[in-house]
Amino acid sequence: MWKGNIKIGRVFQIPILINWSFALVILFIFYASTTRNFTLQESIAFVGYVLTLFLCVVLHEFGHALMARRYGIETRDIILSPIGGVARLESIPEDPKKELMIAVAGPLVNACIAVFLWILIKMIYEGGMFPSSMENLRLLVYPSEFIRFVFAMNVALFIFNLVPAFPMDGGRILRSLLSIWVGHNKATTFATWIGKGLALIFVIMAIMNSQYIVLGMIGLFIFMMAHSEYRNVKMMAFLRETKLSDIMEEEFTRIALSDDYDHVLNIYNKGEEKNFLVFNAQGQIVGAIPELFIQDYKKNQEETCAVSDRISAGVGVMEPENSLYDAYRFLNAEGISILGVTLGNTIQGVLDRNMVERLIKKGKY
């Protein structure tokens, strides 16, 4: 969903990306400026307002990211699109209290900005807190009205993000609170259905009245993200509940250090095994042959060589009682393709990265 992103900077070691669809914002600015016959000064003020809006969105996402960092969770990146921003965390904390704090942090940033502007308006300007007309964007050329528009924007962002439409902040807050009583999986299911229901309402409103077209787009986004999040939670539950003894391959080919690569290639071409463990004469695991090595060997059509001449030290072992979640994390963290499942000094089977990824793609959970 987030393919085609352009990096525009890095703050607090977190990359900030703009999705290709952000070009729609430029088209919107051009359309709004021309149809309303803005002067050059009014157009510049309008552009400044839109940029300020997205600056507030970025600050909102940094609220999530920096709170997550307090709990040892890093943020992969922050992505901006026409309908807002997303801070992609490396993981979601299992502790519902931590998830609650991370979810609340974003809206609190907008609340702090609104409070600051409220104080500024009260100290410097006379009149109300909101623009004299929310529809008259020509007022943006006046500094007092510009600040009032930004104040109103942050109030709206604060309120809208608290709508309990998962996976928006309000939905995550709802899930974290429910998790305390019913557990993470049931809480996610409940919050997801609420999110999908509200998303459908947003879409129906957009169909019935074109003025709500942006709300309809947000509804579609919420629906897709809620479904994706629900599948992700189900997958994580499957990974945690599955033991290696339930999924390991007990029948596998043992490659010896003295074997040649043509022997490995013949087994590989049969299509049943893609990655191999290598054993020494004493039956101990000494390395692995990942599929990448075999493909490179085939591509270059090299003369046959001994396995010992081309072997990867990237291999690990785990016990049958370990979870698939631990094994998958280990495979990804270490960048290896296969591990041995051992009980004491005896190897019981193997776990191949391809095997796990096939299960995930087929949705076998």
Q: pLDDT above 70 covers what percent of the chain?
A: 96
Mean pLDDT of 123-135: 81
Helix axis angle for 40-70 and 23-35, nearest 10°, is 150
pLDDT above 80: residue 171: yes
Q: What is the largest CA-CA distance in the chain?
A: 87
pLDDT of residue 301: 64
- By the 8 A CB rule, do 264 and 256 touch? no
pLDDT-derived band at 112, boundaries 50, 70, 90: very high
Q: Say if CB 139 and CB 152 are below 8 A apart.
A: no
User: Which DSSP symbol is given to 253?
Assistant: P
Q: Please state, for a pLDDT cut of 90, what percent of the chain lies above it.
A: 22
Report the chain's mean pLDDT, rounded to a whole number. 85
CB atoms near residue 314 (< 10 Å) = 15
pTM: 0.71
Per-residue pLDDT, 106: 94
Whether the per-residue pLDDT at 6 is higher than 70: the answer is yes
Residue 356: what pLDDT? 81
226-282 pLDDT, tens digit per residue, is 888 788 778 888 888 889 988 888 888 888 888 888 888 888 888 778 888 888 888
CA distances from 141 to 29, 104, 148, 229, 236 (A): 16, 33, 12, 42, 51
DSSP string for residues in 129-169:
SS-S-SS-GGGGGSHHHHHHHHHHHHHHHHHHHTS--TTSH
- Res 82 pLDDT > 90: no
| Residue (of 328, 267, 329, 325) closest to 297 by Cα position | 267
Q: In terms of C-beta density within 10 A (0-12 exposed, 13-18 middle, 19 or more buried), how is residue 126 classed?
A: exposed
Compare 289 and 134 and report the one with higher pLDDT: 289
- Angle, CA of 184, 64 and 327, to the nearest 5°: 50
